[in-house]
Structure 1
Amino acid sequence: MKNDQVAQATQKLLEMWKTGNLPQAVAHTMLARKSGDRPSDTWSLANQILTLINGTEDARGFRQWEQVGRHVKKGAKAIYILGPVARKITEKDSDTGEEQEKTIITGFKSIPVFRIEDTDGEPIENSRPNYTPPVMPPLMNVAKAWGIDVKYQGGNARYYGAYYPGKDAIVLCTHDEITFFHELSHAAHNRIRPLKGGQDATQEIVAETSAAILCLMYGVEGFVSKARNYVASYAKMEPQECTKAVMRAISDIEKVLTLILTEAEKQAPSDTATAV
């Protein structure tokens, strides 16, 4: 029965993508940042991964810790993130002939930061804003069953969500269900075979297609068009032709969906999705 549901939803999605007969799209929203966020929440994804690799979720510079009433322990060793080196230049506008000042990035430098675990002082966790949605998205019970740490944080305009295979953790900067489905699909894919590092095209096609199918199965509307554009960008195809790339990855897509839905049935049999 479950395989039939997946097959029906997959067929419907691919037909919608191929014909372009798509429901009205909704805006993809990002959580606005609030005062009290950690400085690391604004860092690049690469720098955030560096902090997680070093066993922490909060790292700051020496003075930044002092500003929140904490101090670095004697003998603590810094970890290093990369920060841009910028300089200002003056250019002449080709249209007006006027000189304009602009800032350019000339390279990167290492910046020492310290883990919260290597500091003492005032507690700061209770002062952090809470971004958790009032109603959790469908399939959150699957993440919980797999021991995946799911956290919401304010957006930094660089990404909507991320899955960290080494830590088995998901970070979300939006309440939009498709982003959670996307990252959960990465987590499922990683359980089938270890994911490659970086933004691998096939892995992104598998995750986004799986997420779009889950949206159809759980009645989450408005993201089918966005998903098609996302897949097309990684497939390097016109949107109406991206189904070709999906078919090349269909075996992994089916495995990902089956793994997720099987776990969902185990956790809440009455919450099984019904394909539309």
Structure 2
Amino acid sequence: MHSTVHTPDGVTLGVEHFGDASAPLVLLAGGTTMLSWPDALCEALARGGRHVVRYDLRDSGASTTADPEAPAYTLRDLAADAAALARGLDDRPAHLAGIGVDGMVAQVAALDHPDAFSALTLAGTRPVAPGPVDDDLPDHDAATMKRLFAIPMPDWSDRAAVAEFAAAGAEVLGNDPAAARATAERVFDRTPGTEPAVQLANQMGMVFSKLDCKPRWRERLPELAIPALVVHGRHDMFFPVGNGEALAREIPGARLLVLEQAATAIPAAAADEVAAAMLAL
């Protein structure tokens, strides 16, 4: 079921519900749209007795779209959105999950709003903001990034061209091109316009490169006192697996689940394995 939720500070967030609304809440923050979380994973979590809600970040999907080229909010505001949504959906603390760049939002949300969350899952992310990486963390694979950025930008008003662009990028990154094409088509159909900045925010999450992500939070990770799961693809060349390993080391008691056949996306074939690990928190 799709709907929208309004936060106390006037932000509209597009959400989709799976499972029994009275069950414990698992909140899946989009990276940047909700479709970064596979249907199969949402359905597996719901079968496991959870109320699953995936949502679009600001400037993507059905959420508030203002100016993706110059966002007037910060990483901390996105973290506050997650906490407000969790509190608005359930009186009990929620299991929060973030994927990719939104794993950064999830880390900050859990640190800044500890009363709102009971567990944390971080998938394919790293413990520092976009931009220069810490010396002890592996950066984006240079050869992969060169191939990725060599793909010509599509005509953002052409659904088929956008889908083929996504498929080509998925092939470079080691993801399933067919799955990426299908997801891109769904994202395109949910996007409120075909302006390049809006499509980039939806299809590629480029708004994150413009966000104020200070101050650092990596040094605060040992403060986390909730069960945590770190999921990472062995073949992730965007945020190589060393980033997930660092998160698992620095969050007390965190479990690391490395998906041996995955890259940046969670394959549908791994949905049951990831859901089981999340349900065990």
Q: TM-score, normalised by structure 1?
A: 0.24
Of the two, which has the highest radius of gyration? 1
